[in-house]
Structure 1
């Protein structure tokens, strides 16, 4: 295919040209688009395009100046001028520089298409390629593949009969592989295009598949499906070897079909996977039949929204207890719940950010060593990653370190760890089953060992801690209803009964009173 560079200072026109023209069908591949003549000269030196579609009036260097510069080193490059100015003076200068065509704005799509076809014929003639040359066979095959994946079933048989003469795997199973290139901040459009070309050239050289370009994806009609011996590993190597340090990729393959007429089904399966690219691991080929991906390759389902507050609380508890494994499990649980409800990148990132923000904010209130601002870079990083596995890996890494730092009591008996935890979280809605789950214990078993160690049931111990804190707050002058809320009893009447049970007097009777000996103890045997 012939390389094309689009040059116009109006972004809307550049983007419009990329969309209104089916470049691949016409035998062209757009390798870049820039906003002025100076950039066009520089990119021409780097990419050597066969055609430059260029505007006249642009900042820094106009189109005619750019053409003069390029003509100093390249006499074969074709130029198609776009201009909103029907000025014969421009046309005369363009003719003098051997420009191939001149199209006025606003652009007539059919006129532009005819100009491009005429220029392609000229390029074919210049390169000495006959009509049935290898280039034309490749271009025609690519055109037929693109038509077939977009065709109505009624037209598929006719297109298949044309395509089968240009392929060499009659009788074999067929499969479509789509690859999306993903560059980092240092990889510009030219670098991305060079890598895409390497993929296409390598696939052709190694006889692995027929390449085509569709939207942002490079596609391949595979000569051997990915279930074949070593086929998947060959494709993994081919894609990875061409990337380099500045580029990654996500690849998806549709289901295997037996007829060329059915490759649209394989294409649509691969495309559906890539629409959920965020959930796919980078640098791997994903196949639509993989069971772990099915739930993410479907339309949004009817799952209930995840309880982000509950997940944040659970994460807080795991961090406070220094439970690294529990932190990882809770993060995974949050990720699965978010993806099951809404698998979009925005929804998952937003949900995870909220869970982490709430948990870390509450944790910083409990531990002076935890500064919420120290984790602002982590929250920012989560939103920069373009793949779910990278997001989770970053969260796992930093929160595991935090849990390890806070888990200084990790060598203490489990019951002692829980007792200390209650002292920090007595005002929350703590439950025996929640604490048992934290340590992967059965609720009944955990309740028994807790009582054996403390002499009290879990809930009695919790009540005693709360009443001890309530007495302190009452003596500091807080109102009874305030204290009730502060120690975890939303119902004031219930608080009264609990307080009288353990202290032997009503809360109001000791409010503001001087300290006196307590009538209960939290000492354990």
Structure 2
């Protein structure tokens, strides 16, 4: 419902408009009627009407002067001028004063109703448009923090020109950057003991917000610091407002160390923070950001829960470390093949120790060399590996894709040890299966050739392509007997069967089971059964009867 007033010095006009028009039916509430412009202006300031119908010619203040005041102070109010003067100059003034309509008297009730309906439709449309704009402004206001973060991310990572930087800083209400300035970047190492308690992405986001909150509170104590989150879940800060670079670095390292300490103390997990080079203008911030990210990369060698400055990493006066022994990958492969687990773990530890002081590209180069050596072993033996997460995967995709997900050299060291252990377990299992297969072939051969008096261990090893020493050890482990013990047992069992199922002479049976000397056969038979072949046959015959 819109609020309206009538202004006319003729009471008959006011009474007619008030009493002949059903204002509510047309969407208006008639708030009052006044006989001159001065009274109307006082009421307008008090009532704030939406719609004003006014005559032009009135004492004390005419309609055009009233329209001028309304247009200047309340431009959203709609004014309709009623006049008996059909003069062009009045119409011109009304247009200049943004009067909605200029209507000549006399006017009928029907025309007034049409005027009200038309005005209401226009005011409804305008209100709808303004409501839409209001909603957009509200949405924009709610999105301002995110828009500000995306602007700062673009400024730091891609770079912007000076005019756009100044315009956007003014738009977002950001304090101007005072050079020198630098970029620092913080990244959560892991969630520590909370890692197992995280059920979904919301829990992880809550913990990231907790880190941001600590960073924000710390940064608020340092004027001239702008903090934002990147789309890669990192925290970045632009630090400025220092007298010189030395003071700037002191402030940045102090802030970073405080954040690192508070996160570890109160959140029970860790972050690593990289601090970049100082630059002399906001346009140069991408260079500082790149160096901050490079400093963060040194976490791979230096470990987690650190504050790492690029000046410290690149300004070290320590001599370059020697390149790790080129023969180590071959020695590691040999240790894996031979099952020397302790030696393999020691080698990995020594390589990791050397790489901690080597340039970062050298680290990846030698890790890849080691992985390729292990890949050769796996492919040579036809093996697959199981990743530390427990998912079975061939070694090739495992190594070449997952190596880049680790944040520290210590994690790589542990991962390599896991790979070596898995590979050695696979080799041992393969060898065990192969050995069992070969021993099964050997026992089958004994079953087929036990009657051969000249059957020997050498014959058997030649058949299964194994050395006598290794075969003897493996045969004992698989069967619990030596070759001679197993062969003798098989021959005695065969002799028992012949004694029970045939009427062959004892020397004939001895010959059929591989013994040319019947006396020697009788001695072995009694040793294993406790009776002579004759006694065994007679006893079994009696028991059968």
Same fold, TM exceeding 0.5?
no
TM-score (norm 2): 0.35
Which protein is richer in helix relative to its size? Answer: 2
